Structure 1
Amino acid sequence: MQDRVLRVLEYDKMKKQLVQHVASSLGRNKIERLVPSTDLEKIQLWQEQTYEGAKVLRLRGRAPLGGIFDIRASLKRAKIGGMLNSSELLEVASTIYGGRQFKKFIDTMVEEEVEIPHLEEMVEGIIPFTDLERAIKQCIDDNGEVLDSASPALRTLRHQIRSYESGIRSKLENITRSSSKMLSDSIITIRNDRFVVPVKQEYRHSFGGIVHDQSSSGATLFIEPQAVVLMNNQLREARVKEAQEIERILAELTEQVAEHVEELLENVDVLAEIDFLFAKALYSQKIKGTQPILNGDGEISLTKARHPLIPGEEVVPIDVDLGKSFSSLIITGPNTGGKTVTLKTIGLLTLMAQSGLHIPAEEESEMAVFKNVFADIGDEQSIEQSLSTFSSHMTNIVGILDKVDHESLVLFDELGAGTDPTEGAALAIAILDDVYQRGARVVATTHYSELKGYAYNHEGALNASVEFDVETLSPTYRLLIGVPGRSNAFAISRRLGLNETIIEKAKGQISSDNTQVENMIASLEETQKSSAAEWEQTLSLRKEAELLRDDFVAKLEQLEEEKEAVLAEAEKKAEEAVKKAKAEAESIIKNLRHMQKESQAVVKEHELIDAKKRLEEATPNLQKKKKSKKKAVATKHELRPGDEVKVISFGQKGHIVDRISEKEFQIQIGVMKMKVHVDDLQYIDRPKQIEKKPLATVKGSSHHVKPELDLRGERFEDAMLMVEKYLDDALLAGYHQVSIIHGMGTGALKKGVKELLKKHRHVKSAKDAGAREGGLGNTVVEFK
C-alpha cells in the first residue's frame, strides 16, 4: 500500500488509537511497523487470533500481561560478554515471570475446554526459566537494589559500612555539640563521599583535617576533622569492596542469562505477538468491532459500518454493498453531507481488515482483500509546484490509472472537480469507464448531474446519495443506496426566505428534463424511506412471531414430556399388576397340582370353580380412560388433502398435507407438520379445485400432488428445477393456490423463487404467507 493512501485514509491516526491498548513496548513496536497485508490466508489467521483475544477478554475480562519488557537489547549485550546492571536483570526476571503467568492463564482456559487454538499454540513456545528468575529475585529487590543476602561477603561488607557510618556520625555529633560556636550550622553533611562539618572561615585551624569544599561566599569551609579521617578512609575502602562484590554478583547473574539468550529471545518474540494480539482485541472492544468475513472476489458488504475515528455519539452508521451485482458506486449529495466520510470509512475499514483488525460494523459484514487501495481524496494542491486543484487531482489520478487492475479498490472524491463543469463531467465519465473496464472496484463522489444518469446507463454501476433534511437545513449523513442525490437549492432558498417570484423565475431557467429527473429522485427517496420503515416493521413482526412460535413449541414439548411421564407411570403400574397376577396364578396352579397329587384323582368340579374364580380375581384390571370423543364436522365431509381444518386441541388452523391411515392425517400449521387423529380435526373449508378433483393426480402418473413444496435444505439449482416441475404438476392437478416453503437462510433461495415466479406465465401473484403460516419463510402462490 502507498504511504500517501495510508495517510489520506487516516490509517496512522487509527494506529495511534490502537497503540493505547498495548501492555509493553513490545506491542508498541509491532503496531508501529504494522501495515496491511495482501495475503488472504495470513489475514484470515490474524483475524482469528484477534477473535481469540476478544473471546478471552469476554470470558475473563482481562489478560495478565503486566511486567513484560523489551529485553532484546540486554540479551544481545549479555550474549557478547557485556555485564547487565541490576535494573536490566530485574527486567529479565520480570519478563520471565510475566510469560510464565500468561502461559499458566491460557493453559487453565484450555483445561476448561475454551477453544483458543492459536493462543494455545503460541504459549507452547514460552519456556518458564524458573531457576533463572529465582536466582535474580534472590539477589535484586523490586527497586533494582542488590540485596544483602545476595552473598555472605556482601552481607559482611554492608554490616561493616553501617558500623563505620555509625561511628563517624557519633564522633561528628560530639564535635558539633562541643564546638557549635565555630560552626556555621550544627549539621553533618557529605562532600566527595566523605562526612564533613560546616566550619566558619576564622576557625579553620581549630579542627585540623581536610578541607573538601567551601560556600560561594567563602565564609564557610566544609572540613573533614582529623579525628574522623581514618574512619572515613575505612568506610571508603569498605564501599569499594562492596561495589566490587556487587559487580561480581551481577556478572555471575549475567552469565546465567547469557546461557539462555536464544530461548529468551524466542520468549520475547512470542510475548510481542501476544501483546499485539490483545491490543487488537481491546481496540475491538472499544470500537465495538466484529470479525469480518473475508473474500478474494472484490465483494464488500457492510452493515451499520462506522468510522472508528468519529466519536460513537456522533457517527452515523452506513450500509454499503459493492462488487456483487455492481462494481462502481457513484455517490452524490451536498457538501459536508458525509460523502467524503463514506469514502474514508470504506477505505479505512478495508485497510483495518487487511491488518487483522476487527471492523466497527455489524456481524456477518464482508470485506474483500485487495492487492492495492488507491485514493484521491481532499485538496492536496502543491503551492511549491504551482499546481492548481484540478492539476493536483489529475496528477494523482494519472498515477492511479498507471497501476490499477482487477484486484484494486479505487476511491475518487469529487471526480473531475476544479475545471469547466461540462469538461469535468465528461472526464469523470471517461475515467470511470476506464477503471470499470480494468475490473477494479470503484467508489466515487461527485457534484455533476451528468453522473447521476451514468449509473442508469452503465451496467455494473449504481447510484447512491447522502440524505439532506430540508426542514433543518442540515445533512443526516445517511447513505441511500440506489438513489442519486438531488439539488436542494430551491428548497433551501425558500426556507431561508428568498422571494418566491425569484425562485419560480429560476425554475423556469431549468430544462423540463432536469425537472423530471429531480422529481424522479424525490420520488425514489420517498419510496426508499417508506420501504425502510416497512422493513423495520416487518422485522419487528417477524421477531414477535418467532417468540410466539418458540413459546408454542416449548409448551408442546412440555405437554409431550408430561404425556411421556404419565405413560411411563401407567406402564410401571401395569407391570406391577401383571407381576402380581402372575404370582397369584402360579400359586393357584401350584395348589391345584398339590390337590391333584394328594387326592390322586380328578379334581372335583366345585374345586375347579373355586380356582377359576381366584384366577379371574388375580387378572389385573387395567381400565383405559375413555376419551370424550369430539365429534368433528368431518363426519359430514370426507377429509381430503388440501382441506383447511382446525386442530381442536391446539386451537390452530392448518391444512391437510396427506392421509397417513384411516384415522390419522398429516397436518401443516405454519411451518410445522404433525400427525393428528381424525377426532381432533374440525373441517373448515375446501378449495373449489379440490371439490372437483378429490384425488389430485398428475396426468400420466398415480402419485398425489401436495398443496405445498418444501425446498429447505436443497441446493439452489436443484430447488429451481423442483419449483418449475412442481408448478406444472400443481396446474395439472387443478390447484388454485399452493405454498412454496423456502425458509429464511441467507435469502438467496427465497430471492430465486420470487424471480422464477415473476416470470411464470400462469402465476397470478406470489406473496409472503401470514405469520401463522410460515411468514417470510413461506411464499403463497396464486394461479391465474
Structure 2
Amino acid sequence: MEHRLGFDRIREMLLSYATNSLARRTIHELSFMTDYGAVCAELDLTDEMRRILLLEDGFPSQDYIDMTEMLLRLRTPGGTLTCEELLDLKISLQTIASLLHFLTDVSDYPHLRALALQVSYDAALRRRLERLVDDNGELFDDASETLQDIRRRIVRKRGEVDMQVARALARAKHEGWTPAGAEPTIRNGRPVIPVLDTHRRKLRGIIHDESASRQTAFVEPSEVVESGNDLRQLQFDEHHEVQRILLQTADSLRTQLGWLIDAYAFLARVDFLRAKAQVAVQLQAVRPVVNPSTQINWIDARHPLLRPDMTARREVVPFSLALDTERRILIVSGPNAGGKSVLLKAVGLLQYMLQCGLLVPCRETSEWGLFDEIFIDIGDQQSIDDDLSTYTSHLRNMKHLLEVSTPRTLFLLDELGGGTEPRSGCAIAAALLEELCRRGSIGVVTTHFADLKQLADEHDAIVNGAMLFDTERMRPLYKLRVGLPGSSFAFEIATNVGLPQTILDRAAQRVGGAMLDFEQQLQQLESDKEALSRKQAEVQLADTFLAEVIAKYQQLNSRIETRRHDILTQARNEARQILADANRMVERTVNDIREAQAEKQLTQQARQRLRDEAERLALQQKRHDEEMSKSIDAAQPSASGDDSDTGDTGAPVTVGSVVRIDGQQTFGQVVEIKGSKAIVESNSLRMTIAMERLTATSKTTLPRDRKSRGEGRFQSIYDDINEKRKTFSPSIDLRGQRVEEALDNLQRFFDDARLLSEHELRILHGKGYGILKQAIRQWLHSQPDVVGFRAEHLELGGEGITVVQLR
C-alpha cells in the first residue's frame, strides 16, 4: 500500500535528513498509528521542532552519533572502546548536553522540554573524556603517569635512533653504496637505509626488504639494531598502557550504561523529530486540528509529492474536502487525466502521513479524524501468476473490503465498476457503495458511470464531486468541486485531438440522445453555476460599495454642517471684534479732538486716522469674505457632471441672478445688492462678496446637490474603487518612521482599508524598544472601527507585527 500511495518516497525524504543510525532505523520502522494520544503526541513534538528550525538560532545540527551498539558491547566483561570510539562518545555527549541545555531553558516548546527533562546526564563523564582523548582520537600523554613516562622515553629513544641512522646513511653515501637522493625509510616498523644491490654486503646490518626491481636493498645498520629494539619495546609498553587505560575507562562506563543508553535514545529521538520537521518545512506542512472521531474537513490540502520544486509541468492546485457521519461517500467524476486518481492518492497519502505522526500540507484550521484502517484499490492489479484478470482482482479486493469494513474504515476506490461489461459492473458497484454506506464507512470513489453519479440523488450520505475542465481551452483544471457530478468530456476531448467528425457522429448516434443530453446538462449546470457565482460576487461588491458611498456621504454631510456652524460662529465673533475696535477708535479720536480743542491740524490728523482705519477694516472684511467663501467651497463636494459647464453669460448681476464666484466652482443666488457688494446664498449659507468677483450664468436654478449627481458618477467611482483594490496591500511597513509620521501614514492606510471593506490588516512596526508599537496600539484603541488586535503568530513575526481586525 505504501508504494501505491507514494509513502515510500516520503520515507526516502525522511532518511535523507536523518544522520543518526538509530533514527534511520526508526524511520524504516515508521508505521500507521490508530491511538489518538500517540498521534497527537508525535504531531506536537514534530510541530515544535519545525518551529525551532524556522525561528531559532543555535540549535545543535551535527554530531548526532549513535553509540548504542558500542555501549552495549561493554556489557560483556572485558569489552572496551577504541580511542576513536571514545572520541565519538565525547563529541556526541557534547551534542546531548547542548540539546538538553537548549530545550530545558526554553519554555516555548513544552512537549520537547518535557522530553528533555526525562533524560539524566552526568556532565562529569564528558569532562573526564575531554581530559582523556584529544580531537585526533588519541589518548593525551597525561592520561596516566606511566603513559606519560613511556612517551617521553620514546621521544628520547627515537631521537637516538634518528641520529644513528643519519650517521650510517652519511657514511654509506660517502662510500657510494646508496642510490642518488637516498633517504631513511621504514620497513617492518624498523628504520632502514636504501643500499644498491651490488653493495648490500658492504653495509653491516639486517636486510628487511628489497625493491621490485631487486636493484635496491633496505638495510637496518647494525649499530641501530639495538636502539631500534629498545624503541620497539617502548612502543609495545605504550600499547599495553593504552589498553589498560581503555579497560579502566570501560569499567567506569559499564557502571553508567543505564543513563547512557537512555541519553542516546533521546539523541536518536531528536534526530528523528528533526528529520520529520525538515520534511515538513520542505512540504510547507503544518499541524492541523485532530479529532478522535472519523471525519475529514480539509482546507487547501495539497498532494505532498506534487510540490512546485518537484514538478515544473503544472501548477499545484489545492483541494478542500469534507466528509463525516452525515456525508460519508464522495463520488468523483470528470475527464480522463483530470486529476481524479491523483486526488484519490492524495487523500490516502495525507491520511497515512498524519497517522504516522507527520505534519501535512494544508490549512492549520483543517480538521482531521483518525481511522482504524485505510483500504485502497488503485491501479491495474492483474496477475499472470495467479491467473487473475483486472476485474477479478478488483472483485477480490471488494470482497475483502466488505469483510473488514466498519464505521472507522476509510476506503479509496479508483474507477469503480470498470474492467467488465459496463451495465453489470455499474450495478455491482452501486450495490457495493450502498452496502458501505449502510455500514457507515467513509470513502472516496472515482468513476465515469452516470448511474453511479445518480446515487447521490437516492442517498443523503452520498455526494457528487467534479474535477473541473476548461471547455474553452480544452484542458483539465485539476480543481475539485463538491456538489455536482462532472462530465467526462469524451466527445470534446476526441474533437480536440482530431478524431474524424464522422466517427464522432456515429458514436453520438450509438450513445443516444438521452446520454448526450445528460452530459450537456452537466456542462450547462457547471457553466450556470460559474456565471451565478460571478454575478453574486459582483452584486455583493456593488452592495458593499454602495454602503460605503452612503456612509461616506453621511460623514461628509456631517462635516459640512459642523464646518458651516464653525464658520458662522467665527464670523460673528470677528464682526463683534471689528465693531468693538471701531468704537474704540472713534472714542479715541473724539477724545483727541476735545483735548486738542479742535485744532485744525490735529483734527485733520484724527480724520486721516479714521479714514485709514476704515480702509483697513474694509480690506479686512474683504479678506474675511474671501476666506469664508473658500472654506465653504472646500467643505462642499467638488462639482462634476453638469457643473463643469458654467454657462457664463457676461450679463449684469441683479437680485435673483444665479452667479459663479470667480476662481471657484461654487454657485449661488444673489438675494441683495448693497453698493459694490452683494449678499449671495449658497447651500443655505449667506455670504457678502464683492460684485467684481461674481459672474452671471445662464442657469435659472441652482445646480443639484451632490446626492442627486452622485448616481451619474457611480460607475466612475466604482472603477476607481476597483483600481484601488488591485493595488491595495493589507500590510503596511512603518519601521524606521517617527511616531507622528507613522500615525499619519497609518490613518491614510486605514481610510483606504475602510473604503475597500478590508477586515484584517497587518502593521509591521518591528520590536526595537517598543515605542512605535506602543503608540500604534494606543492609536488603535481610539479607533471605533477596530474590533480587536493581537501580535502575529510567533513563527510569522511575533511582537514585531500587529494584526488588526476591522468591523
Please report the TM-score for the alignment, with normalisation by the length of structure 2. 0.63
Change (3 A) 1:221 1:539: farther
Aligned match of 2:105: 108
Preserved CA contact (<8 Å) 2:326 2:460: no
Preserved CA contact (<8 Å) 1:89 1:254: no
Between stretches 500-509 and 134-143, larger displacement belongs to: 500-509
CA deviation string 1:644-671 (max 9, x = no partner): xxxxxxxxxxxxxxxxxxxxxxxxxxxx
Change (3 A) 1:443 1:120: same
Aligned match of 2:37: 41
Preserved CA contact (<8 Å) 1:380 1:392: yes
Aligned match of 2:178: 183
Q: Distance in 1 between matches of 2:58 and 2:532?
A: 44
Question: Pairwise mapping of residues 656-695 of structure 1 onto structure 2 (< 5 A)?
Answer: none
Question: Pairwise mapping of residues 645-724 of structure 1 onto structure 2 (< 5 A)?
Answer: none
Q: Distance in 2 between matches of 1:147 and 1:380?
A: 65
Which structure 2 residue ranges, 5 or more long, are not aligned?
310-314, 553-706, 708-758, 760-784, 788-807
Preserved CA contact (<8 Å) 1:23 1:65: no
Change (3 A) 1:121 1:464: same
| Aligned residue identity for 1:139 | L
CA deviation string 1:217-271 (max 9, x = no partner): 3332222121211111011011001111111221222222112110111212222
Aligned match of 2:289: 293
CA deviation string 1:127-172 (max 9, x = no partner): 2321111111111112211122322322222222223223323332
Q: Distance in 2 between matches of 1:402 and 1:498?
A: 45
Aligned match of 2:516: 515
| Aligned residue identity for 2:96 | G
1:146 pairs with 2:146: no
1:87 pairs with 2:88: no
Max radius of gyration: which structure? 2
Preserved CA contact (<8 Å) 1:182 1:200: yes
CA deviation string 1:387-406 (max 9, x = no partner): 22222222233222221211
Q: Distance in 2 between matches of 1:253 and 1:502?
A: 87
Q: Distance in 1 between matches of 2:26 and 2:509?
A: 63
1:247 pairs with 2:240: no
Candidates 253, 257, 262, aligned match of 2:258: 262
CA deviation string 1:54-80 (max 9, x = no partner): 233343156325323211112222232
CA deviation string 1:699-739 (max 9, x = no partner): xxxxxxxxxxxxxxxxxxxxxxxxxxxxxxxxxxxxxxxxx
Preserved CA contact (<8 Å) 1:452 1:463: yes
| Aligned residue identity for 2:393 | S
Identity of aligned residues (%): 32
Alignment root-mean-square deviation, CA: 2.9
Aligned match of 2:116: 123
Preserved CA contact (<8 Å) 1:126 1:270: yes
Preserved CA contact (<8 Å) 1:372 1:409: yes
Preserved CA contact (<8 Å) 1:54 1:282: yes
Preserved CA contact (<8 Å) 2:191 2:228: yes
CA deviation string 1:467-494 (max 9, x = no partner): 2234444322111212222132322333
Aligned match of 1:377: 378
Secondary structure of the residue that 1:79 maps to in structure 2? coil
Change (3 A) 1:254 1:540: farther
Aligned match of 1:230: 226
Aligned match of 1:639: none
Please report the TM-score for the alignment, with normalisation by the length of structure 1. 0.65
Secondary structure of the residue that 1:223 maps to in structure 2? strand
1:159 pairs with 2:152: yes
Aligned match of 2:467: 466
Q: What is the Cα deviation at residue 533 of structure 1?
A: 5.2
| Aligned residue identity for 1:182 | W
Q: Distance in 1 between matches of 2:464 and 2:28?
A: 38
1:280 pairs with 2:273: no
Candidates 182, 207, 211, aligned match of 1:211: 207
Q: What is the Cα deviation at residue 206 of structure 1?
A: 1.0
1:405 pairs with 2:402: no
Aligned match of 2:561: none
CA deviation string 1:528-555 (max 9, x = no partner): 434665787799999999999xx9xxxx
Q: Which stretches of structure 1, 4 residues or more, deviate above 6 A after TM superposition?
A: 534-548
Between stretches 502-511 and 86-95, larger displacement belongs to: 502-511
Q: Distance in 1 between matches of 2:125 and 2:45?
A: 31
Q: Distance in 2 between matches of 1:491 and 1:256?
A: 80
Q: Distance in 2 between matches of 1:458 and 1:418?
A: 25
Question: Pairwise mapping of residues 416-435 of structure 1 onto structure 2 (< 5 A)?
Answer: 416-435=417-436
| Aligned residue identity for 2:136 | N
Change (3 A) 1:83 1:169: same
| Aligned residue identity for 2:415 | E
Q: Distance in 1 between matches of 2:436 and 2:518?
A: 27
Secondary structure of the residue that 2:382 maps to in structure 1? coil
Secondary structure of the residue that 2:201 maps to in structure 1? helix
Q: Distance in 2 between matches of 1:386 and 1:15?
A: 33
Q: Distance in 1 between matches of 2:365 and 2:541?
A: 20
Preserved CA contact (<8 Å) 1:19 1:279: yes
Between stretches 302-311 and 85-94, larger displacement belongs to: 85-94
Change (3 A) 1:188 1:521: same
CA deviation string 1:183-215 (max 9, x = no partner): 245022211111112222221211122121222
Aligned match of 1:728: none
Preserved CA contact (<8 Å) 1:209 1:223: yes
Preserved CA contact (<8 Å) 2:64 2:268: no
Preserved CA contact (<8 Å) 2:150 2:238: yes
Secondary structure of the residue that 1:291 maps to in structure 2? coil
Q: What is the Cα deviation at residue 12 of structure 1?
A: 2.0
Secondary structure of the residue that 2:332 maps to in structure 1? strand
Question: Pairwise mapping of residues 252-401 of structure 1 onto structure 2 (< 5 A)?
Answer: 252-312=248-308, 314-401=315-402
Aligned match of 1:29: 25
The number of residues matched between the two structures is 545
| Aligned residue identity for 1:515 | L
Aligned match of 1:76: 72
Preserved CA contact (<8 Å) 2:302 2:362: yes
Q: What is the Cα deviation at residue 373 of structure 1?
A: 0.5
Between stretches 490-499 and 192-201, larger displacement belongs to: 490-499
Secondary structure of the residue that 2:511 maps to in structure 1? coil
Secondary structure of the residue that 2:17 maps to in structure 1? coil
Q: Distance in 1 between matches of 2:539 and 2:17?
A: 41
Secondary structure of the residue that 1:182 maps to in structure 2? coil
Question: Pairwise mapping of residues 632-643 of structure 1 onto structure 2 (< 5 A)?
Answer: none
| Aligned residue identity for 2:158 | E
Q: Distance in 1 between matches of 2:245 and 2:522?
A: 82
Q: What is the Cα deviation at residue 335 of structure 1?
A: 2.5
Question: Pairwise mapping of residues 367-766 of structure 1 onto structure 2 (< 5 A)?
Answer: 367-498=368-499, 503-530=504-531
Q: Distance in 1 between matches of 2:548 and 2:154?
A: 81
Q: Distance in 2 between matches of 1:153 and 1:528?
A: 91
Preserved CA contact (<8 Å) 1:135 1:253: no
Preserved CA contact (<8 Å) 1:470 1:492: no
Q: Distance in 2 between matches of 1:92 and 1:347?
A: 42
Q: What is the Cα deviation at residue 499 of structure 1?
A: 5.4
| Aligned residue identity for 2:135 | D
Q: Distance in 2 between matches of 1:444 and 1:233?
A: 84
Secondary structure of the residue that 2:207 maps to in structure 1? strand
